[in-house]
Amino acid sequence: MKIAIAGGTGFVGKHLTRKLTERGDTIYILTRHPERYHDTDKVRYIGWLKKGKQPDKQLPKLDAIINLAGDSLFGYWTKSKKDRIYQSRINATYEINELIRNMNEKPEVLVNASAIGYFGTSTYHTYTESDNESGNDFLAEVTEAWEDTAQQAKAEGVRTVITRFGVILGTEGALPLMALPFKFYIGGRIGTGDQWISWVHIKDVVDMIIFSIEHPHIEGPLHVTSPNPVTNREMSKKLAEVLGKPNWLPVPRILLKILLGEMSILVVKGQKVLPEKAALSGYNFNHPDVKDALSKIFK
């Protein structure tokens, strides 16, 4: 297949590109700075999001477009940081829609990233793709606007999949930060430890994106999470076991709120999200168990 990826140089994008090229697909990575990279037989870098760039003129007929572009959530959420988080996602997705509109031959499918933050936070509710009501915090506002923008591709006859990512476990992203206190022997649960972590191994993120491309009946929201979410208390316990470190020092929520500001919502609150659509579609998880997933990463 011929697949374009926006955000292809990021954490998920690099893993996805590697898997797709290994199986023989040709990848076109949309980037502001194509001059920083070298084309290969299977990976081409196409300029976009800059004045004068016309990616539709450089791309062949595509089977799929995958949009992973967006500013990192990590960092103190000042007003300017929140603006970058919001605008980077909306603007990139708007440009993807423009790209599709300008194509004479449309791709079969758009897979657009989103996040389980769509639902807001809860300690008691279990969310599946059947739940339609979004939350009322900043991340919920961002993801709702992000998804609404992506859904505009349907007007061009393009099947649209919204991949709502959970907490992605891998050698990059959130896990190194989660593991750091344990490595210094000061690890422990956060607050009461009752908040849910709907996690997913990076290998399953990659495979679920590919699965959604290859299964034409999948459209709309797709929860990219393990079928076995855990509480923060359980995650801390398993992380300590895998690292061979103690799990003894609870971190007060108020301390994280002071240190991280509004971004602390990523660690002090959570939601229990299940991948119902993937399960019903026959997807087989590589790493459904959190201890197994952590062991594979830290081995």
Residue-level pLDDT at 50: 85
Write down the pTM of the prediction.
0.96
Tokens standing for 2?
């011929």
User: What domains are there in the chain, each with its CATH number?
Assistant: 2-168+198-226+273-285 (3.40.50.720)
User: Of 221, 217, 228, which is closest to residue 282 (Cα–Cα)?
Assistant: 217
Beta sheet of 109-115, edge-to-edge order? 43-47, 26-31, 2-6, 64-67, 109-115, 159-165, 220-224
Q: Which amino acid is at 278?
A: A
Residue 236 Cα distances to 54, 126, 157, 225, 246, angstroms:
47, 21, 45, 18, 10
DSSP symbol at 86: H
Residue-level pLDDT at 142: 97
Kindly give the confidence (pLDDT) of every residue in the chain, 299 residues in length, as a single tens digit, with 9 standing for 90 and above.
Answer: 999 999 999 999 999 999 999 999 999 999 999 999 999 999 999 999 988 888 999 999 999 999 999 999 999 999 999 999 999 999 999 999 999 999 999 999 999 999 999 999 999 999 999 999 999 999 999 999 999 999 999 999 999 999 999 999 999 999 998 999 999 999 999 999 999 999 999 999 999 999 999 999 999 999 999 999 999 999 999 999 999 999 999 999 898 888 889 999 998 999 999 999 999 999 999 999 999 999 999 98
Secondary element (H or E) of residue 58: helix 55-58
Length of the chain: 299
Residue-level pLDDT at 34: 93
Cα 287 off chain centre by: 17
List strand residue ranges (DSSP E) for the chain, in order.
Answer: 2-6, 26-31, 43-47, 64-67, 109-115, 126-127, 159-165, 167-169, 196-197, 199-201, 220-224, 230-231, 272-273
